[in-house]
Amino acid sequence: LPVVSLRGVTKRYGNGTLAVRGLDLDIAAGGFVSLLGPSGCGKSTVLRMVAGLSPVTAGTIDWPRATHDARGTPRPKLGFVFQEPTLMPWQTAIDNVALPLRLEGVAKAERHRRARKMLALVGLSDFAESYPRELSGGMKMRVSIARALVTEPEMLLLDEPFAALDEITRFRLNNDLLRLWEARRFTAVFVTHSVFESVYLSERVIVMAAGPGRLHSDLSIEAPVQ
Ligand code: ADP
Ligand code: ADP
């Protein structure tokens, strides 16, 4: 069974903009999928609808493998990484990473243990007590990735996460992300307009046509670069 299944998904915003039109898509559990397409084709909209941050206008998004949680939403635990790191400026790196655990009610000692482990995985052990303003762009992005993964989500949704970074940092972060994915095997859905990035990272590249978003092509690649 796919982890998520979109059928005839259409999105029309309140101002009349048709952003996505009749999208059918299944995403397999544990895969690394890129959503590639020109700016404005509806990639972010698709990701936000999958995340439940934006309602669909028509069609359905199903999670065939998920069990119902207390609120009856059959959606597994998700992590979200945006282009802007959106870290809390008055909190240290480790407290930023631990924040989702605080929202889950995890006890303080356990929060810190898990946040410290995630910071180590993204290579920032020495910067646990640094504030976001003391970190480079690449380091802030690593903190965001650590924060998104600290709750051990089944799916990680990334919306143009590295677009604002210089090319070398971006390349390093691509490799770091692949390493994390190989270690943890969450389902990754990566939105990008970079052909290189999508092919380098993914097992499957879903190409969207210029808007309003529809499928253009769907490429399966044997394995990601190791
Ligand atoms: P992409 O991520 O591929 O750049 P988006 O999903 O951001 O595309 O946008 C798709 C279309 O929807 C664009 O025409 C964009 O201007 C429009 N759009 C995105 N967000 C909103 C919004 N909140 N309200 C109205 N229109 C929007
Ligand atoms: P970027 O991701 O911006 O290229 P890196 O995360 O690769 O930066 O950092 C490269 C190295 O530079 C880090 O390992 C770190 O030791 C050092 N560094 C970067 N920014 C800072 C900073 N603000 N304070 C101290 N050291 C830094």
Q: Which atom of ligand 2 is nearest to the CA of 135?
A: 23
**Within a 10 A sphere around the Cβ of 83, how many other Cβ atoms?**
17
Burial class (CB in 10 A: 0-12, 13-18, 19+), 168: exposed
139 CB near ligand 2 (under 6 Å):
yes
Task: Specify the pLDDT at position 68.
Answer: 59
State which of 21, 44, 198, 214 you would mutate to test the pocket of ligand 1, scoring each by most atoms of that ligand within 8 A of its C-beta: 44
39 CB near ligand 1 (under 6 Å):
yes
Alpha helices (H) along 65-107? 93-103
Task: Specify the pLDDT at position 222.
Answer: 61
Burial class (CB in 10 A: 0-12, 13-18, 19+), 146: buried
Task: Specify the pLDDT at position 226.
Answer: 47
**pLDDT (tens digit, 9 = 90+) per residue, 129-178?**
999 999 999 999 999 999 999 999 999 999 999 998 899 999 999 999 99
Burial class (CB in 10 A: 0-12, 13-18, 19+), 103: exposed
Q: Is the pTM of this model over 0.80?
A: yes
Give the ligand with the smallest distance to the CA of 209: 1
pLDDT along the chain (226 residues), means of 10: 93 94 93 92 94 95 76 79 90 97 95 96 95 95 95 95 91 93 94 93 90 75 55
Task: Specify the pLDDT at position 70.
Answer: 54
Task: Specify the pLDDT at position 218.
Answer: 80
Q: Beta strand pairing status for 155-159 and 187-192? A: parallel
The closest residue, in CA terms, to atom 15 on ligand 1 is 40
